[in-house]
Amino acid sequence: MKIQVTKKHIEKGKAKDCERCPIALAILEQVPNCVSVDVTELDICGCLNCGTAFDITIPRKASDFVVAFDNYRNVKPFEFELELNQ
């Protein structure tokens, strides 16, 4: 599934907060039934309301974004593929 991180997510996101970073906000908004998510530069962990948990390696493009955002660098909207096997 394609995740689009928009300007709105970037503006609302919080640096160094794995639950409120722009990628986490985008996933919560765009993945059906996602009730929680944590994003680090290494992985994306979350839970769907059916009780199913996921823990996947973050794509390189998204990892680079996390590092830049957490270091208060300017970032731009982007999209990446999130492989969830539900």
Backbone angles phi, psi at 7, to 5 degrees: -60, -40
Q: Record the tokens describing residue 62, joined without a space.
A: 């998204």
Q: Does a structural domain hold residue 34? A: yes
- What pLDDT is stored for residue 50 in this prediction? 84
E strands, the chain, where? 2-5, 34-39, 43-48, 53-57, 78-81
User: At 69, is the secondary structure helix, strand, or coil?
Assistant: helix
Residue-wise pLDDT for 63-85, tens only, equals: 999 999 999 999 999 999 998 86
Q: Does a structural domain hold residue 86? A: no
- What pLDDT is stored for residue 84 in this prediction? 81
Torsional sign, CA 22, 27, 16, 19: positive
Structurally, how many domains does the chain consist of?
Answer: 1
- What pLDDT is stored for residue 86 in this prediction? 52
- What pLDDT is stored for residue 6 in this prediction? 98
* Whether the predicted pLDDT of 56 surpasses 70: yes
Rounded to whole angstroms, how far apart are CA atoms 31 and 4?
Answer: 11
The domain in which residue 64 lies consists of 2-81
Residue-wise pLDDT for 12-32, tens only, equals: 999 999 999 999 999 999 999
Rounded to whole angstroms, how far apart are CA atoms 11 and 20?
Answer: 11
